[in-house]
Structure formats: structure tokens, C-alpha cells
Structure 1
């Protein structure tokens, strides 16, 4: 016949409790200790004899055993600070004939040595978590202020002043401008001057993320939403940016299917993760940017009109570098300071001739192209002054291309008639010019084909086809 604990010898029972329960304490309804094992007493720096029959709060610091014995509410996996350590405690009420008669509590880890071993492991994980948390928070902070936006051109200053004025608003902002004009810098500066500056700024490039991943990137997914989904699910960028700013770069390249989902989120102010059932409220300010003509895309049916109006509450058009050439010396000096830190150099300057060349160029790649030109020049620079010889070939060749155009000729000094040369067909001439334009674009974008396509104003597919046609790798 089954006898329960009566079948276990008395001298076994306490040993079993010590082995299984680590540290254990039992109190009556008034919180007086009825039993406490030696392992617990050893950790507390007392003895069983000195601890028994005393109020539990006089023996164990920060205890809640007397509270559980009074309320009857169990407490599981509760943090319990003891002797400068964080223990994990479980506390259960003891009920007899429907009445609370006491409580039993256990604390994990059987010895101080074992706790120290676990603590070392846990502390390492905590420190690692803090490192990545700090790194993430740093990355989600805005990197630029309006003081970092360099220029004295009246058009640029008016744009900058307007952007500063609307920074405090919560309305959506649409940044328009050619590729490389500094739209991302404006987005950072606007966030940094807003009421949300202490909260996250999350940037996402809508053109760089494949269509099938964009939805999960923006809205996140729940555990088991699809094959390969991360265990426990993943927050989307909207959730990460909650109460802060979400910067949607290259919004003009967002697929139509995603545009409707984005519109719903902006209207409802809530997101639903892929595979999730509940809606999550969000409060984000949207700053969108594009180098494309959204109005034209709307007319062509490639961009939703309702989304365009939702984004186009405050439109800021950033002037291209060709319209603010007077700013080139100032911007060049700022870029050189930045590049000096990168290359561990000091005192680099431009020669007067180089500055003149830079002023004459049309800069289809804008400030990004200018930075690439200066970086390329520093890579081949021996001294501290950048000369014409250090510039890329297409800038060095400007003089020969413009010398005839810029030199006035008197009737007596007209060039002698040239000998008749074979004339290429129009098709061959256009093909040669197209190939040169592609090579030029690749040169100013350091071989980045996606950026080169943007500089030329053509689609990626068309650009790759032309590269294949002209054997450009």
C-alpha cells in the first residue's frame, strides 16, 4: 500500500530537500521561520539554530515570505536581491483545510560558488547585451545637424531655413532632389531639431531591399510566420521607430503592392506583423526622399496618388550642385576635413587651377561625385596640395574640350580648314557617346552600378543591358 512520504526514512527527507530545493525556508502564517536548511543559512552567514523561530524579515533581507504567507498569492521566478546578488526566488502559500497556514520559499543555486559561476556567465551576457543596445541606440541617433549643411548660395540657404522652420512639426516631409544632393543629411538635421530628437531615427532604403523582404523589414513578423522566420519573431522598422522618425529613402522605387500597405499604416497609425493577429499602435513621423519625379510617376500609374498626397504635406526641394557652384569651395573644404580624418592626413588643400576646374564641371553626381573626386585625388597625392594631375581623367581633359569654345577668334585668326575625315554614322556616334557617359558615371560613383544608373537617370535593368552591350564590367 502506498504510504507517501511516510515510506521514506526520516533521516533521508532533509537530505532530499537539501539536494532538490537548493535553499529552502518555511514560515508560519505570521512569518515566523519554522524550518530553514543549512545551505541557506551558510549563504546568509547564520546558523539554523539562530534563524529558526525568528521573524523571517529579520533573517533574510528583502524577503517577501511573510507577505505570501498572509496574502496566499504565489510568486514565481521573482528577483530577490541578497548580499549584493540577484537571486531567483519561488514562493508558495501552504494551504490546509482551505486556510493559509504558512509559506515555503526556495532560492536557486546550491552554493555561493555555484552562484558566482552562474553570475560570471550571466554578467558576460548582460555586458554583451548592453554593448549591442548602446551600439544600436547610437546608430539610431541622427548624425547631422543643420550646422553640418554647408553653403552660402541664396537658394540653398532659403531651403535650409525652411527645413529648420518645419522641423518642430509632426507633419510628413517629402525631400526632393537629384541623387547625391544631401537628402539624407537634411532628414537627419530635421529629426535632430525636432521634438523627437532624443528618440530613434530609423532609415530604410526602399530601393536596396528586395520586394519580398520589404514588408517584413517595415512591419516585422511573428514567430513561425514563414519558413526561416527568426524564433520569437522580429520587430519591424515602424515598431523600432515608434515615437521617433522613420526615413524612407528612395520612396519612388517602392513597389505598388507595398505602397498600399504603407498607406494603410499611415492612415490607421498601427501595424500588423506578418503572421500576427493583433494590431500594434505606432506614432512615427515620416520623412520620405526621392530623386524621381513622383508627379510624373502618379500620372503613369506607377505611384499611388493618395500615398503621394499623404507624404507630400511639406515638400522640400534641394538644389543640385550645378545650381550652387559658388558653394563648391566651401563644400570642398568641409569634405577635405572629413577625408583627412579618414586618411590620417592634415593640411590638404586645393590648387587654384583645381578649384577652377571644379567650378567649371556640371556635377551630375552632385556632392557625392565631388567627394569621390576628392577621395580619389587624396589616394594619389604625395604632398599636401591637390593639383590637376591628381584629378580623374574626365576632369583633367576639360581644358582641351573647352579651349576652343572659350577662346575668342578674330577673323584673321580663324582655324585653317581641316582635312576631310571619315564621318561615323549617327548610330556609331551615339553609341560611342553613350558608352563614354556610362564609363563617366561609373567613374564618379566608384563603380557602383546602381548609383551610376541614378546619375544617368535610367533604370537598373536598362543600365545593366547597356553595360552588357558595350562589354563594360
Structure 2
């Protein structure tokens, strides 16, 4: 028989399970709660030596230092807390003639189970703390807030909303939203169409009381819709001013591991993103439209120390020039004609403590670039119409599809702003340079989109994948997703995806196909294949030679023959 012994980080026995008579003449009087089995007291033994070595081990018979322990066989494994601190040892002790090769494995499994319980306890504590933190913030809002699931069932109601609709959270939660608001409430339309709304009039069914409401969908970490959130503000009849817009920044929901791809280019970009996440420095994401720059921006935020703070994004290209300053810096009451009463916080204030993502920074007007540069330098922002400076603690991530050096040469982008932004630069590769990732990208997109569209048992065929490989994808992953969604809408009852369902532009396909119908000189084809191999291997000569099935010396000779600059080839 064996005993299971739990000891603390100093070697003191905390608990014993098993029959005390099992050890026979072994040093049983010392194997009791409170006894110290560290090496300083007992010499070499499983508990004490495990604490020193910090690894699982087995001490058998005469391997024990004390002669009275020579009749024992012991297996021990260390127990670490979630921070990696050694907090104890799990040990199994029995008579030496009962030694079993599987004992150590059982102890290791037991120690791992204890560590997992610690991790689960900590995770549960963090989740509960985050829930209470969010609940407190929500209940201190002056605006009403309600969340519903995908069926329209109320899942949360803050105190302001409960007061507005004359109920309590306990009574409202679990009811359908149409039982509280009117059946024509825009929340139900939001769940059906997926289109967010702002400052729409809603009516409380019980007494026809009116409110202004803004709403948007909620998503989980896997981009699945889990419901909707709506914010309410009291309706003010006869006022000329619309209610102040209540803005709820969308949380960053992407992690680096959510970015699909195993080719060398994308793996290196993901590696650099992980490094960038640990730094407070500004990041510049460069890449063509549709390559996933915002996914990288969110990933850098969620992996970094600001993950629990706001992630606020603004598209500098989509925001009108006349509004971009007020969106970024905010404004005071009466700052200009049409300004909301009470003023409005800008994106910098909203992102305080977190991350501000400036998408398409290359399209920002020059006069706004000057103000942006000052905010980056001073870490202070002034609302339009005010001279008061508000300190902001933010991390800036910018993105562009343009060549900013060319924009600087053309006088469209400030050189000093470029160097402020270009501290850590990530070049996001286009899809045509990572064709080896197409199978897993297609599989992932088909799975995601078929679930959203309610299509089951979809089959991806080889001709479908070949068509994907032949297309140059100028719109990158965004275009690929669009083509797959089109195919899923057109697919028949058999669920078989065929190339024609994507309705790809044949002219684009011919441009992207190296082996087009035109006969090309062999040297040109050889040069193109070499460039493609160098791009996909990110300049790794060994990998490129393996792809092409030729020696490294031949690769070097061909690079010299075609006068290729490897660095320029990699950067496109």
C-alpha cells in the first residue's frame, strides 16, 4: 500500500492520505502532519529533493540518505502556482518492494490537477471581479443600458434603465424585450438585420413613455453574435438639440492566434506583433487593403498591458475632412453650429488608458496631421472651442495602405509625423504572397460563413481550391471572404463548392496566373518562380531551395544572374 503526502514549500507535511500501517518498519513516526522532510532535516528524500530540483523525481530504497528510510520508495512532483512559484510537493510513499513504474506518472498527474484547480480558481476570481467591476460602472451610468440575447430575451438592465421603464432588473431579466418596450422596438430589428442604429425613438409599452435609443450587436471572441446592447436617454419633446450621442467603444476581440496562417511571412509578422504588444511605443501597420491590419491592431492591444482598457478606432479615410478634428479631439458646448449641447469627448479622450487605432492614416488632411503630431508629442489634447489641455495616456497604432514615403515626397504627409508613427513597423503581407495559407483560410472562412448563413455539410472541392490559388486576390482576404460568401449563397442542396460559384473576374485570374495561355520565355518563368520562392520563404535560402528542388549554390547563382535584391523582393 501507499500513502499520499502533501507538503508545503518548506518541506512541512500538511496532509496524509492512506493507512498508517502500510509503511511497516519505515520511518513512520516522522511521516505525520507537521513533520519536516526538507533535505536539511532528512537528507536525500523525494519531498526535500523535489523542492531543491523543482522537478518530478523518484527516490528508491537505499537512495534515501537516512538509513531508517531505506525500506521506502517515494515519488514526488512539485506544485506551482499560476505565477510559477513553487508552493508545495505531492508525494506517494510505500514499501520499496511495492515500487511501480507508473507511480511517478500518477503523482505528476495529481500535481497537474492541483495546478489546474489553482488556475481555474484564479480565472473564476478574475471573471467575477471583472463582472462586478463592469456591473458597478453600468449601474453608475446616467443613461439606461439593456442587453438582450439573440432571441430578444433581456439579460441585463442597469438601474437607470430600470427606473426609465418602471421595473426592476430582477423582473425584467428573462422577459422578452417586446414585453417591456413596444413590439416595434429597433432592438428587434437590429437582431434581424445586424444594422446598428443611433438616436432612434423607442416607446415603453406600459405608459407610452418615449426614449432615444442607440444599439449595436455584441460578438464573442469567435465572431459569433451573442446578442445586442441598447442605450437609452430620456426623450425631450420640443427641443431643437438632439440628445448627446452615447458612444460605446467596441472591445478589441482578436488575438494574435486568431490570425490564420502558417507561411513564413505571416508567422514573422505575428512574431513581431507579439513583441510590439509588450511595448508602449507607436506602431505603424503597412499593407494593402483587406490584409487584416485592424486584426493585427486589436491583437497587439489584447496581448498587451492595456488589454482591459478601451480600444478606440477611427477610419481617417471614411471620416469627412470637416468632421475629423471634432471626432479626434472633441468639442465644447457651442464650439460651432450644430454642435451637440454639452459638447462631446473625442477619440483621444475615449481611448484614455487604452489604445487609439488610426486606420488609413495616409488619408488624414495635412492641417489635422499638425494637431495630431502635437498630441503625440505632448500627450495632451484640447477640445475644439477650448484652451484647456486634457492629459491623455494612450498607445497609438496607425495603419495605411499607402506608401507614406511617396506621400511625403508628394507633399501629402508630414515627415515629422511619419517618424513619430514609424517606431515599430509591421508589413502585413498580401494574400498573393502567402498562397500556401489558402487551404486553411478557405476552410476557416467556409466554417464561419456557413454557420452565419445557416448552411450545413459544405464540401470544399479540389477545383475550388485550385481556382482560389489561380486568382491574384487584389482585394486580399476581404475579397476572398466576399467570394466565399457569394459561393455559399449560390451553392446547391448537395453543398458542393465549385469554382464558378465564386464568379471571379477572369481577367484578374489571367493576370495572376503564372502559367497563362501565352508562351513565355523560359528565363522569365525561371525568374518569376525564384522570386515567388524567395517571397514565400521570406528570403530564407534553404527554404527557397527546398521549394524549388535545387541546391543553395544554384539559388545564389540565379540571384546573381537575375540581379535580384533579396530585401527588395521580400518587401515587394
Aligned to 1:463: none
Aligned to 1:257: 367
CA separation of 1:121 and 1:170: change in aligned 2, threshold 3 A: same
Q: Quick one: which of 151, 156, 178 aligns to 2:266?
A: 156
Instruction: State the alpha-carbon separation in 2 of the partners of residues 306 and 394 from structure 1.
Output: 41
Matches within 5 A, 1:273-422: 273-382=383-492, 383-395=494-506, 405=516
Instruction: State the alpha-carbon separation in 2 of the partners of residues 195 and 176 from structure 1.
Output: 23
Instruction: State the alpha-carbon separation in 2 of the partners of residues 217 and 279 from structure 1.
Output: 16
1:27-48: per-residue Cα shift (whole Å, max 9, x none)? xxxxxxxxxxxxxxxxxxxxxx
Tell me which protein shows more helix as a share of its residues: 1
Please give the secondary structure, in 2, of the residue aligned with 1:132.
strand
Instruction: State the alpha-carbon separation in 2 of the partners of residues 142 and 216 from structure 1.
Output: 23
CA separation of 1:352 and 1:166: change in aligned 2, threshold 3 A: same
CA separation of 1:351 and 1:188: change in aligned 2, threshold 3 A: same
1:239-296: per-residue Cα shift (whole Å, max 9, x none)? 0000000000000000101000100111110111011131100011000000000011
TM-score, scaled to structure 2: 0.47
Instruction: State the alpha-carbon separation in 2 of the partners of residues 236 and 139 from structure 1.
Output: 12
How large is the Cα RMSD of the aligned pairs? 3.1
Please give the secondary structure, in 1, of the residue aligned with 2:447.
helix
CA separation of 1:404 and 1:362: change in aligned 2, threshold 3 A: closer
Instruction: State the alpha-carbon separation in 1 of the partners of residues 168 and 412 from structure 2.
Output: 48
Aligned to 1:267: 377
Unmatched 5+ residue regions in structure 2? Answer: 1-160, 173-212, 215-228, 233-245, 521-572
1:146-166: per-residue Cα shift (whole Å, max 9, x none)? 111001101110111111122
Instruction: State the alpha-carbon separation in 2 of the partners of residues 199 and 137 from structure 1.
Output: 15
Q: 2:510·2:516 contact (CA, 8 Å) conserved in 1? A: no
Q: Quick one: which of 271, 277, 280 aligns to 1:170?
A: 280
Matched, 1:202 2:312: yes
Q: Which has the higher contact order (CA 8 A, sep 6+)?
A: 1
Unmatched 5+ residue regions in structure 1? Answer: 1-117, 410-473
1:178-236: per-residue Cα shift (whole Å, max 9, x none)? 11111010001110001000010001000001111000000000011111111110000
Instruction: State the alpha-carbon separation in 2 of the partners of residues 403 and 171 from structure 1.
Output: 41
TM-score, scaled to structure 1: 0.57
Shift of 1:124: 6.6
Matched, 1:145 2:255: yes
Count of aligned pairs between the two proteins: 291
Structure of higher CA gyration radius? 1
Instruction: State the alpha-carbon separation in 2 of the partners of residues 183 and 256 from structure 1.
Output: 23
Please give the secondary structure, in 2, of the residue aligned with 1:152.
coil
1:393-434: per-residue Cα shift (whole Å, max 9, x none)? 52599589979946989xxxxxxxxxxxxxxxxxxxxxxxxx
Instruction: State the alpha-carbon separation in 1 of the partners of residues 506 and 332 from structure 2.
Output: 53
